[in-house]
Amino acid sequence: MVISEPNIVSTSLPTIHLDLLRAENDTESKKLLSACRTQGFFYLDLTSDPELCKLWEGMLARMKDYFEQPLEVKMQDARGSHNYGYIPVGTEPGPKPETKDGYETLKFSRREFLKGSADLTTAVCSEADYFFSYIKHAHAITIMILERLSTQLGLTGSSRFEADHADPGPSLSTLVLLHYPKHNDSTAPTNVGHLKHTDISTLTLVLAEQWGLQFLSPDTNRWEFLEPRPGHAIVNVGDFLRFKSGGELASIVHRVIPLKERQDEDRYSIVYLIRTNDDVSFNDSTGKTWTAKEWHDFKYDVFKSPTTLDAKGQILTAMMEKNDRMVVREGIASG
Ligand SMILES: O=C(O)CCC(=O)C(=O)O
Ligand SMILES: [Fe+2]
């Protein structure tokens, strides 16, 4: 069982500096491309942007207040949607066969942001503008990363990655606020972490202060923890960018598990998933054509019932992994 193996901490992720990327520094953009090709993950140093770091702090305070409320209150925000509203702990399988997931989430979709109001019931609705201002920042940063990658790859016009994200969309870009409650009693926890997967996104921007995130290292073929670093986001390539780049950029398998047998502190993560517009199409690595919305909807069904809908794990990990080992990257005919 991986959880009881000695913990391995990754030492391979590069750090990309937000200010240098913003300034269109060519060396930094090359470093970015190299990270997306090889590791699929990198640290993004945000310390040059104090406003953003302050937003992070403010969101954490609001998340703590929100998730502390009784379940009945939070359930008033449940909408049965993948893109907005509250979802309680344990609705999907966990990382171990006999477990369910160990997180509750509150989601704000970018659609709500563009519309100017969140479809929520509880008092958190009055805080929506705060989360919306983060969506604005996170969206601008991820678009800028796509611009740098497109330039480095020599893409022009409508084949540039950012072109697939042009407003007004529609798209399913979403801010997901996650809380992994700590385990209190001494019995074996049944709600644990986050199932292994690749992301239904173009890029994912993650802010988290506690340990737990692991990736299946393409260098070592092992599960490695990604150390949380103050003032740094962790960014990863998602399925859409992998498929759109014809397999050139790597959407790497990851999951969340406690550092020890049990989660001994509450874990909070702030995850922005930028997604291509709904009607953008691409081929997966078997040559099958999907629109972004079809891939999104099908993969969310797979998250709920991986063993029935995706027995070979092809969708969950986007054909990147078999039996906890990386599958050698193969080219994909571009869609
Ligand atoms: O909680 C985290 O740190 C990451 C969660 C994740 O992988 C996801 O939401 O796609
Ligand atoms: Fe993820």
> 208 CB under 6 A from ligand 1?
yes
Q: Which two tokens stand for residue 153?
A: 């790859």
CA geometry: angle 317, 322, 328, nearest 5 deg: 90
> Distance between CA atoms of 222 and 2, rounded to whole angstroms?
10
Minimum CA distance residue for ligand 1 atom 7: 255
Name the helix (H) or strand (E) containing 19: helix 18-22
Spacing of C-alpha 41 from chain mean position: 11
Q: Which residues contact 158 (CB under 8 A, 6 or more apart)?
A: none
Distance 213 CA to ligand 2 centre (A): 9
Distance, in Å, from the CA atom of 125 to the CA atom of 79, rounded to the nearest integer, reads 14
Which ligand sits closest to the CA of 225?
A: 1
Q: Quick one: DSSP state of residue 269?
A: E
Mutation probe of ligand 1 site: the residue of 214, 237, 271 with most atoms within 8 A of C-beta:
271
CB of 256 within 6 A of ligand 1: the answer is yes
Distance 62 CA to ligand 2 centre (A): 22
Query: Is the minimum distance from the CB of 199 to ligand 1 under 6 angstroms?
Result: yes
Q: How far is residue 329 from each of residues 8, 32, 84, 282, measured CA to CA in Å?
A: 23, 19, 34, 17
Q: Give dist(CA 175, CA 107) in Å, integer.
A: 6
Residue 180 alpha carbon to ligand 1 centre in Å: 11
Q: Is the CB of 239 under 6 A from ligand 1?
A: no
Beta bridge partners of 316: none
Q: How far is CA 255 from the centre of its chain?
A: 10
Instruction: State residue 247 phi and psi, 5-degree precision.
Output: 85, 0
- Compute the distance from residue 194 Cα to the ligand 1 centre, in Å: 7
Distance 65 CA to ligand 2 centre (A): 24
Question: What's the topology of domain 15-326?
Answer: Jelly Rolls (2.60.120)
User: Is the CB–ligand 1 distance for residue 194 below 6 Å?
Assistant: yes
Does ligand 1 lie within 6 Å of residue 148's CB atom?
Answer: no
At 15 the three-state DSSP class reads strand
pLDDT means over runs of 10, the chain (335 residues): 67 96 98 97 98 97 97 96 95 87 96 90 90 97 98 98 96 98 85 93 98 94 96 97 94 92 92 98 90 94 82 76 66 46
* Predicted pLDDT of residue 2: 44
What pLDDT sits at residue 141?
98
Q: Is the CB of 101 under 6 A from ligand 1?
A: no
Ligand that comes closest to the CA of residue 214: 1
Query: Which tokens sit at 32?
Result: 């970015």
Alpha carbon distance 154, 135 (integer Å): 28
Ligand 1 contact, 206 CB (< 6 A): yes
Q: What is the pLDDT of residue 5?
A: 56
Tell me how far CA of residue 11 lies from CA of 23, 27, 217, 220, 225, in angstroms: 27, 21, 10, 11, 9
What pLDDT does residue 285 have? 81
**Using CA of residue 86, residue 90, residue 92, residue 94, what is the dihedral sign?**
positive
Listing DSSP states for 123-184 in one string gives: GGGGGHHHHHHHHHHHHHHHHHHHHHHHHHTT--GGGSGGGGG-TT--B--EEEEEEEPPP-
Domain ranges of the chain: 15-326
270 phi/psi in degrees, rounded to 5 = -120, 115
Is 0.90 surpassed by the pTM of this model? yes
- Relative to the alpha carbon of 176, which ligand is closest? 1
Q: Ligand 2 centroid to 32 CA: how many Å?
A: 19
What ligand is nearest to the CA atom of residue 194? Answer: 1
What is the rounded distance in angstroms from the CA atom of residue 122 to the CA atom of residue 130?
A: 15
Largest Cα separation within the chain, whole Å, is 58
* Ligand 1 atom nearest residue 254's Cα: 7
Q: Which amino acid is at 216?
A: L
Q: What is the ipTM of this complex?
A: 0.99
The amino acid at 272: Y
Contacts for 291 with CB less than 8 Å, ≥ 6 apart: 278, 279, 280, 281
Distance of CA 82 from the midpoint of ligand 2 (Å): 14
pLDDT of residue 335: 40
> What is the CA(333)–ligand 1 centre distance, in A?
28
Distance of alpha carbon 130 from alpha carbon 210, whole angstroms: 22
Omega cis (within 30) before 14: no
